[in-house]
Amino acid sequence: MSVGLNYYLILAAVLFTIGLVGLLIRRNVLVMLMCVELMLNASNLTFVAFASKLKDVGGQADVFFVLVVAAAEVVVGLAIIVSIYRKRLGATADDLSSLKG
């Protein structure tokens, strides 16, 4: 018995929503970065699900590009967090409040 396309899409939508909500309500920047990853992986799952439904290898290849980009983004994100930690202990979103107007 195979699992239908809709189940994959719903799972992906749930993952995406968890990422989206997490990004909006969590104050820890590391968790926020993880939420972005979750959103990117939800789109990967959507791509793969559609690719197998459409029997098209293109959609599966697209996932590699998204994975590479996600990795690059995390590298830069962590580097920026480290550079902030050096200046100030604590990098939650509430500590980052010197810019406003």
Partner 1 sequence: MIATQLLLPKISYFSILPEICLIVGALVMLAMTSVTRNRITSKVYTGITVLAGIASIGFSIKNYHDVLRSGAHLVIDKVLAIDGFSVLAAILVSACVIIAAFLTQNFVDRENWSGPEIFALMLLAGSGAQFMAAANDLIMIFLGLEIMSISLYVLAALDTKRIQSGEAALKYLVLGGFASAIFIYGSAFVYGSTGTTNLGQIASFFATSYYTHNGLLIIGMVLVIAGLGFKVAAVPFHVWSPDVYQGAPSPSVTLMSSIAKIGGFAALLRILMTALVSYKADWQPIIYILAVASLLVGAFGGLVQSNVKRMLAYSAINHSGFILLGLVAATQVGVSASFVYLIAYSFIATGVFSVVTILGSKGDQNHDIRNYRGLAKKHPYLILGFAVLLFGQAGIPGTVGFIAKLSVFEALARSGGPGAYSLVVVAIVSSVISAVYYLRVVIACYSKPDEEMIIPDRLFSSSLSPISPIQKADGDIGQEHEGVTLLVEDKVENLKTEDVDTQDFRVGIGSSIAVILTSGIVVVLGIFPNLIIDLANHATFIF
Where along the sequence are the contacts to partner 1 (CB under 8 A)?
A: 9, 16, 19-20, 23, 29, 32-33, 36, 39-40, 42-43, 46-47, 49-62, 65-66, 69, 72-73, 76-77, 79-81, 83-84, 86-88, 91, 93-94, 96-101
Per-residue DSSP letter, 27: -
CB of 67 to partner 1, least distance (A): 11
Token duo for residue 92: 């939650």
Per the CB < 8 A criterion, the answer to whether 43 and 12 are in contact is: yes
CB of 86 to partner 1, least distance (A): 8
Per-residue DSSP letter, 89: S
How many residues in the chain?
101
